[in-house]
């Protein structure tokens, strides 16, 4: 029964956690590696964010080096260096240091939903210079050949003052997303979805549940997260308390049922031996007889013996049985056996007490030091030793 109750409560807890503990900020912040940028809406990590977190064109992925990769509609994939959600800008870099060469191949192609950052656009002029003598400082990485190297110069420079004796002008590039101070970095920005105002308020944005695919809303996930954590935690605590109460109630019920069964067994036995049984006393009678257990005579394996008085001339020894011992068999055996004994040399059972959980046996008192022999006598569990039987005790 206890296993069934426990299993049922566990199933209830799992169901409750699934329904009420489902976090609404499943578009949570993730990373590809320890040093990578934090990824959250409108960006999403392929295979790690659920579908409702994906905004078209903002899908990132993790490579084997734990780098965060932006997959643009061009043949090149650039790792992400940083993401500024408030300014809605993303910084990429080229680990091969060939950024300008790659840009020249895709410069006129669309990179929707992004556009090149205006703060990092410049006009350049390219020169093909001989390697015989170094002419300029701004080499274009990966743009060289047998006997020559290509250099980039800001078009605003006055060409006449440049050391271009062994150089040939190739062509001008207008509004190139190339920053010579950081030749490996590429800066992109986006306009939609416009989450900058959410970030400015310390919030995040997400897609509206009932809106169109492009409608967004600002959400304070820090407060929502606290509430979501409290719900399953409170449910867990409540169910745990309920479980403890059920277990405690079951144990009390089981113990009470066992004790009632033992009492019923004793009562049935006493009814069967009504003609033979000695006097029956209540627990209040036992306390009165022993003067509230004032005079302790000894202690045996199954109880403590006290001296008592039935009248001014009749003394008794009252053995109060330990309530935690056995299931009533010891009491039944001793009452049944001692109730049949009628011999001058054998202690006589005067009466007994079976008052709820309290049980006691009332014997005639044996003076002159013979009580210790009784406490450890062969009649401790209603069983007689071979010596006692050989002495011819009358058991009938």
Annotated binding site for ATP: 319
DSSP 108-121: TS--TTEEE-GGG-
Question: Quick one: DSSP state of residue 192?
Answer: S
User: Across-strand partners of 69?
Assistant: 61, 79
- For residues 242-259, one letter each, b for 16 or more C-beta atoms within 10 angstroms of the residue's C-beta and e for the rest, the string is ebeeeeeeeeeeeeeeee
Q: d(Cα 348, Cα 276) in Å, to the nearest integer?
A: 13
Rounded CA-CA distance 44/79 in Å is: 15
- The H or E element containing residue 79 is strand 78-84
Enumerate the known binding-site residues. 319
Structure tokens at 234: 């409170």
Task: Extract the tokens encoding 11.
Answer: 């199933």
- Asked if 266 contacts 321 with a C-beta cutoff of 8 angstroms, the reply is no
DSSP 261: H
Distance CA 59, CA 25 (A): 18
Helix 221-272 with 2-20: angle, nearest 10 deg: 170
The 10 Å Cβ neighbour count of residue 271 is: 9
CA distances in angstroms from 136 to 129, 154, 156, 241, listed in the order given = 9, 12, 15, 78
CA atoms of 337 and 342, how far apart (whole Å): 11
Beta strands in 259-302, from DSSP E residues, in sequence order: 279-281, 296-299
Determine the Cα–Cα distance for residues 139 and 149; give it in Å rounded to an integer. Answer: 7
Q: What tokens does 180 get? A: 């010579």
Q: Rounded to an integer, what is the distance from CA 19 to the centroid of its chain?
A: 17
Decide if 143 contacts 101 (C-beta within 8 A): yes
């Amino acid at each position: 029964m206890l296993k069934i109750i426990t299993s049922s409560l566990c199933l209830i807890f799992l169901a409750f956690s699934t329904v009420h503990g489902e976090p609404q900020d499943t578009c949570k912040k993730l990373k590809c590696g320890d040093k990578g940028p934090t990824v959250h809406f409108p960006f999403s990590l392929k295979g790690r964010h659920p579908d409702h977190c994906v905004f078209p064109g903002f899908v990132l992925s993790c490579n084997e080096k734990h780098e965060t990769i932006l997959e643009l509609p061009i043949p090149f994939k650039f790792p992400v260096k940083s993401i500024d959600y408030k300014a809605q800008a993303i910084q990429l870099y080229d680990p091969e240091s060939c950024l300008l060469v790659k840009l020249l191949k895709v410069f006129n192609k669309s990179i929707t939903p992004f556009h090149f950052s205006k703060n990092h656009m410049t006009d350049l002029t390219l020169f093909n210079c001989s390697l015989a003598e170094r002419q300029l400082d701004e080499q274009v990485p990966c743009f060289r050949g047998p006997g020559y190297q290509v250099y980039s110069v800001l078009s605003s420079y006055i060409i006449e003052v440049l050391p271009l004796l062994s150089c040939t002008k190739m062509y001008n590039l207008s509004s190139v997303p190339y920053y010579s101070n950081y030749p490996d970095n590429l800066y992109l920005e986006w306009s939609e979805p416009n989450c900058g105002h959410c970030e400015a308020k310390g919030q995040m944005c997400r897609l509206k549940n009932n809106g169109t695919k492009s409608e967004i809303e600002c959400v304070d996930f820090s407060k929502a997260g606290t509430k979501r954590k409290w719900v399953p935690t409170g449910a867990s605590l409540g169910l745990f308390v309920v479980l403890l109460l059920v277990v405690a109630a079951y144990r009390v019920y089981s113990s009470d049922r066992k004790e009632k069964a033992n009492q019923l067994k004793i009562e049935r036995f006493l009814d069967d031996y009504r003609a033979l049984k000695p006097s029956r006393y209540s627990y209040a009678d036992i306390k009165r007889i022993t003067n509230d257990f004032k005079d302790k005579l000894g202690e045996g394996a199954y109880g403590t013996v006290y001296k008592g008085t039935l009248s001014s001339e009749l003394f008794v020894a009252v053995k109060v049985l330990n309530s935690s011992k056995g299931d009533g068999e010891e009491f039944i055996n001793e009452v049944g056996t001692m109730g049949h004994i009628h011999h001058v040399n054998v202690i006589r059972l005067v009466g007994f007490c079976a008052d709820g959980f309290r049980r006691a046996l009332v014997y005639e008192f044996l003076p002159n030091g013979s009580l210790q022999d009784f406490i450890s006598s062969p009649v401790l569990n209603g069983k007689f030793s071979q010596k006692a039987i050989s002495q011819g005790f009358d058991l009938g």
